[in-house]
Amino acid sequence: MVRIAKQSDPKRLRDLKKRINDPAYLASAIQRIAQTLTNELYLGAEIRNGQKQQ
């Protein structure tokens, strides 16, 4: 399967380039990633241990 790249949005790219240099934004982004990973690991552990009912 061949993937075709979407057209990039110059305004969005400029915004993201500004954000990546903002320490508060980076801290928030890292926190969101850590929380997501923690939730996924916890959920996976619950499922493996049979504690999660669907």
Per DSSP, the three-state class of 33 is: helix
Q: From the CA atom positions of the chain, what is the Rg in Å?
A: 18
With a CB cutoff of 8 Å and minimum separation 6, the contacts of 26 are 20
Q: Give a yes or no: residue 10 inside a domain.
A: no
Band (pLDDT 50/70/90 cuts) for residue 52 is: low
Q: Give a yes or no: residue 34 inside a domain.
A: yes
Q: Give a yes or no: residue 53 inside a domain.
A: no
pLDDT value of residue 48: 72
Q: Give a yes or no: residue 26 inside a domain.
A: yes
Quote the pTM value.
Answer: 0.58
The tens digit of pLDDT for each residue in 7-26 reads 889 999 999 999 999 999 99
- Could you write out the three-class secondary structure of 31-46? HHHHHHHHHHHHHHHH
Domains in the chain: how many in total?
Answer: 1
Question: Domain of 33?
Answer: 21-48
Single-letter residue type at 26: L
pLDDT value of residue 51: 67
